[in-house]
Amino acid sequence: MYAIVDVAGQQFKVTKDQKIFVHRLDGEKEDKVEFDKVLLIDNDDKIEVGEPVIKGALIKGKILEHLKGDTVKVFKKKRRKGYKVLNGHRQFLSHILIEEIIEKGATKSVVKKETTKPALTQKTPPKAEKAAPKAVSTKKTVIKSSEAKAKTATTKAVKSRPVTKKPVAKKVTAAAKKAQTETTAKKKPIKKTTSSKKTKE
């Protein structure tokens, strides 16, 4: 009997009492773990396939240890650029023992986290009552009222000013343009007087 299960984003073919290495899981050494993402179960040539998961199927296991995998070298190079980078990586892993494969009727146990609130030793003091508003000095009020009056006076003066309209240029019609051109053509051109040089005898 074997099953195909999804553990931490990876699919594994597991059997009872098998040990596998998976990505680091939450929990400490000797903690019990359960996986409910069972994709397929083969029990004596009776194959049951999930859609995508088999309902009621569960795989129980135990964390044996946490460790780091072998180093993987990551080398990058760009030719003719003088670029070479060598990095190493070690994956965090968990060593797991598969204890039991349950086909149907299993329910995943939910671990309840304790939510304890810190005890309040001292009660918060009541909020102080709002103090009475301070008396406003009369000088400030007089200054404010005079400023308001000055603003209103300036706005009234601006409104009372006569609005002067700019003179609009009259449109020149085509007939007027023709008349102007005719008058300029009629004018005789002015003769320029040239001074004749006297020749010496």
pLDDT single digits (tens) 139-166: 555 566 667 777 777 776 666 666 666 6
What span, in angstroms and rounded, lies between the C-alpha atoms of 149 and 36?
Answer: 81
> Quick one: DSSP state of residue 15?
-
Residue (of 49, 53, 48) closest to 38 by Cα position:
53
Distance from first CA to last CA of the chain, Å, rounded? 146
**pLDDT value of position 45:** 84
**Which ranges in the chain belong to alpha helices (H)?**
138-160, 174-186
Q: How many CB atoms lie within 10 A of CB 34?
A: 15
Q: How many CB atoms lie within 10 A of CB 5?
A: 27
> Quick one: DSSP state of residue 153?
H
Task: Quick: pLDDT tens for 49-61.
Answer: 999 999 989 999 9
C-alpha distances (whole Å) from 30 to each of 16, 39, 58, 77, 97 are 17, 26, 19, 44, 10
Best mean pLDDT range from 83-92, 132-141, 155-164: 83-92
**pLDDT value of position 64:** 96
Domains of the chain, by residue range, sit at: 2-66+93-102
Q: Given a cut of 70, is residue 188 above it in pLDDT?
A: no
- At a CB cut-off of 8 Å and minimum separation 6, what does 132 contact? none
